[in-house]
Copies of this chain bind each other. A is one copy, B any other.
Amino acid sequence: MLSKNVETFIACDCDYEQAKTVLFGAPFDSTTSFRPGTRFGSSAMRGESFGIETYSPYQDKDMEDIAVMDSGDIELCIGDTEKVLAQIEERTRIILQDGKRPMMIGGEHLVTLGAFRAVAEKYPDVHIIHFDAHADLRDDYLGVKLSHACVLHRCWDIIGDGRIHQFGIRSGERAEFQFARQHTDIHPFSVEDVASTVKTLVGKPVYLTLDLDVLDPSIFPGTGTPEAGGISFDELRRAVTCVCSCLNIVGCDVNELSPHYDMSGVSTAVACKIVREILLAME
Interface residues of A (CB under 8 A from B): 1-8, 13, 15-17, 22, 24, 29-37, 39-40, 43, 46-47, 50-55, 57-58, 60, 62, 69-73, 75-81, 83, 91, 94-95, 98, 141-144, 146-147, 169-174, 177, 188-189, 216-219, 221-222, 224-229, 233-234, 237, 260-266, 269-270, 273
Highest count of chain B CB atoms <10 Å: which of A69, A91, A142, A216: A142
A16 near B31: Cβ-Cβ < 8 Å: no
CA of A169 to CA of B58 in the docked complex: distance in angstroms? 11
Q: 4 new A-B pairs (CB below 8 Å) besides A77-B143, A228-B237?
A: A2-B24, A36-B39, A226-B266, A228-B270
Q: How many copies does the complex hold?
A: 6
A217 near B266: Cβ-Cβ < 8 Å: yes
A173 to chain B: which residues have CB within 8 Å?
53-55
A73 to chain B: which residues have CB within 8 Å?
5
Q: Can you spell out 20 A-B residue pairs with CB atoms less than 8 angstroms apart? A: A2-B16, A2-B94, A3-B72, A4-B6, A4-B13, A6-B6, A32-B78, A36-B39, A51-B226, A53-B171, A62-B174, A78-B142, A80-B144, A83-B143, A216-B219, A218-B266, A221-B264, A221-B265, A225-B269, A226-B265
Highest count of chain B CB atoms <10 Å: which of A32, A35, A91, A172: A35
A75 to chain B: which residues have CB within 8 Å?
142
A37 to chain B: which residues have CB within 8 Å?
36-37
> Which residue of chain B has its CB nearest to the CB of A143?
B77
CB < 8 Å neighbour of A5 from B71, B144, B217: B71
A234 near B226: Cβ-Cβ < 8 Å: no
CB < 8 Å neighbour of A16 from B1, B51, B264: B1
A51 near B219: Cβ-Cβ < 8 Å: no
> Which residue of chain B has its CB nearest to the CB of A40?
B35
A51 near B35: Cβ-Cβ < 8 Å: yes
CA of A1 to CA of B189 in the docked complex: distance in angstroms? 41
B143 near A80: Cβ-Cβ < 8 Å: yes
Highest count of chain B CB atoms <10 Å: which of A33, A95, A218, A222: A218
Decide: A147 near B33, CB < 8 A? Known: A7-B5, A221-B266, A226-B264: no
CA of A212 to CA of B53 in the docked complex: distance in angstroms? 19
